[in-house]
Amino acid sequence: MAKISFTSNLKRFFPSLTTVNTEAQNVAEALDKVEETFPGLKSYLLKDDGSLRDHVNLFIGDEMVKDRVALQDCLKAQDQLFIMQAISGG
């Protein structure tokens, strides 16, 4: 099963956030699983059109997700999907 992990900064908005295991075939399916477990999180991560918000980055292992619109990057059973906020400022 693929493992979905989150940056600790997201716990500010979702205090019960924990790692999720899923058999999702792609990132979009994985985010559907996350939404089942943590209702409302998907709307924090995605724009109204279903694409990733600008302040959100997803990594499969150490590679940034390439498809930020349809979220069709493939997930394998041994993959780890890491969800994090993009940090900016000065």
> Within a domain: residue 45?
yes
| Residues 29, 24: Cα–Cα separation, whole Å | 5
Class of residue 2 by CB neighbours under 10 A (exposed 0-12, middle 13-18, buried 19+) = buried
> Within a domain: residue 90?
no
> Within a domain: residue 79?
yes
List per-block mean pLDDT (blocks of 10 residues) for the chain, which spans 90 residues.
94 93 97 96 95 95 97 98 78
Structural domain boundaries enclosing 37? 2-85
pLDDT at residue 89 in the model: 55
> Within a domain: residue 38?
yes
Total domains in the fold of the chain: 1
> Within a domain: residue 15?
yes
Q: What is the CATH number of the domain that holds 49?
A: 3.10.20.30
- Residues 6 or more apart whose CB falls under 8 angstroms from that of 34 comprise 4, 20, 41, 42, 83
Tokens of 32: 């559907």
